[in-house]
Amino acid sequence: MTSILGIFLAFGIFFARSLAIPPVIAARPPITKNPPLKEVVVNPNNPIVSQNPKLFQISVLLQFFWGGVLSSILLFWNSFAVGAQPPTIRLFPTTVIENVKEAGQVARDMEISLQDVIADMEQQWKLYQESKCEGYEGDEGCSQISQQMGNKYLEMLSLMDSQLPQIEHSVQATIDSLENRLRQELGQKLTARDLQEVLVSETASDNQLSNRKSRRHSSGRLSERFRQYYNLVLQASSHTGGNSVALAAADIYLDSKEVLELIQLTQGEINRARLMIELRNQFGSVTPEMHEVVTGVKKILLGEKDMATAYETLPPAGTFPEEYQSPLKF
Amino acid sequence: MLPQFILRLSLYNSIVISMALWLSSCQTTPAPPPECTLPQTTGVKQAFTHTRKELSRSECHFRFDAYFDRLLDTAAGDPNPQHSEHFSEFLIWANSQDIITRRNAEEYYNRYFNAKFVSLPNEYSNCAYTCRMKDEIVHNMKEELRQKDKGLLKIMANKRAYARANSLHDSILTVLEATCTACAISR
């Protein structure tokens, strides 16, 4: 504080000097070596100095003082103006955006690699059912189909086992970085009422706040979900599209936690299934559990095809007559 | 002579005492105060007029909540966007008459006729306070949303404002859930 006042006092002196330079310079006596003690060399033409030197000195000091005061006032005025603005929330630094992008990319790679394997398994399962092989595992043809399905199933488990940790790592990194930001920016800096003001101010357009439906529990491919998150983050960060930064962060954080739980459950199922196969050595038999695991993998990774539109449109603002504004309203 | 005098004196005394006793028993008992009646009319303007008249008496101040609820029910029977103005003027009047405080007046108004929520605390940070009271706050917000349904939708017939309140309610709960989950991890 002292240094700031000092700086502005210096500005004040500068302003004062710009006003007071001519008389000051004119009043300074010429520097001479061993100046005479008795004489004071003063410009006799300067009316201010000649008439009352003490008054002149006081006026110079006053100019310095008021210059500093004016500069300080300007500084405080700016600080009040800054203080009146809503708090700036930084929820999406570059690391979070990169983590979301990476998680989407890794999920996409895994989907591509698994798609063929799962398609083959589905075909074989269909053939198994159409051939009415259930209960007739002893039949040579049925035994062959079962063995092929078992091999494909192991192949799928191995693929997932090798790639799920990468997705898990990316999703965990996204969660960790968002968690810190949410805790610091929304949890420790704001009250609940402040949070409401942030949400209202960020979605200033009436349509966007009214139209928002929860993106949580949305179905779809995992990679598609992360791609949507990435677009959401970009829109929210650039304040386009009327999306709230805080809401986008909350959606992505909670969804990612759910995804992480599902991935961890799937990893557990994979380990259990592999252990059962190794223990029983039943490469040729198709158990209902195998089918359930495949169905679960499809649900998590590939999702459902149809997605409801997230936004509806309302009549644009200004369609309705102006509402009454009560003095009691917030 | 003397006994007659004493007799008369005692007679006079007894008459005076009797009259005094009779007069004291005839003191006027104050009439019971008129009851604070709620407006029975279906007309909104008449209901407000009746309510102001009743609340002008200090003995009716304690029934302010009952009067306010009755006004809400009456206005819900005749939806009109201008009702928020009537309620605002009524609450400002009630504050000027020292029936309710300014803060109470703001709370009454904003609960029913503003999309924003008054149930949210504003004293301490979310991690320190709001998240510890989360269940209570969620319950209060749900209750307040019901009140906004009555005010914005049933009384003012303003679907857009109610949709905004509904969406804000969902958004706040989502963000609170995420924030409180993040706060809990740090503990």
Mean pLDDT, all residues of chain A:
70
Residue A41 has pLDDT above 50, yes or no: no
pLDDT at A71: 59
**Is the pLDDT higher at A92 or at B141?**
B141
Beta strands in chain A (DSSP E): none
The token duo for B165 is: 């309140």
Residue A123 has pLDDT above 80, yes or no: yes
Write out chain B residues lying below 8 Å of A195, CB-based.
120, 126, 172, 175-176, 179
Mean per-residue pLDDT, A103-131: 85
Q: Is A316 exposed, middle or buried (0-12, 13-18, 19+ CB in 10 A)?
A: exposed
Separation of alpha carbons A200 and A185, rounded Å: 17
pLDDT at B180: 96
Separation of alpha carbons A131 and A125, rounded Å: 10
The predicted-structure confidence for A146-168, as pLDDT tens digits, reads as follows: 878 878 888 888 888 888 898 89
Residue A313: pLDDT band with limits 50, 70, 90:
very low
pLDDT at B175: 95
Q: Which residues in chain B land under pLDDT 70?
A: 1-2, 24-33, 186-187
pLDDT at B110: 97
pLDDT at B182: 95
pLDDT at A53: 66
Nearest neighbour of B167 by CB, restricted to A210, A246, A324: A210
Residue A13 has pLDDT above 60, yes or no: no
Interaxial angle between packed helices A222-237 and A245-280, expressed in degrees from 0 to 180 and rounded to the nearest 10? 160
- Which of A272-281, A287-296, B79-88, B147-156 is predicted least confidently? A287-296
Most confident range (mean pLDDT) of A52-66, A87-101, A231-245, B126-140 is: B126-140
Diameter over CA atoms, chain B: 111
Mean per-residue pLDDT, A26-48: 47
pLDDT at B148: 97
- Cβ B109–A190 below 8 Å, yes or no? no
Write out chain B residues lying below 8 Å of A214, CB-based.
170, 174
The predicted-structure confidence for A2-12, as pLDDT tens digits, reads as follows: 445 555 555 55
Nearest neighbour of B182 by CB, restricted to A187, A193, A330: A187
pLDDT at B2: 62
Whether A202 contacts A76, CB under 8 Å: no
Most confident range (mean pLDDT) of A40-44, A266-270, A275-279, B159-163 is: B159-163
pLDDT at A158: 86
ipTM surpasses cut 0.90: no
pTM for the model: 0.66
Give percent above pLDDT 90 in chain A: 13
How far from the centroid of its chain's Cα atoms is residue A231's Cα? 11
pLDDT at A204: 60
Whether A214 contacts A311, CB under 8 Å: no
Residues 74-113, chain B: which have Cβ within 8 Å of A? 81-82, 84-85, 88, 91-92, 105-106, 109-110, 113
pLDDT at A56: 62
pLDDT at A159: 86
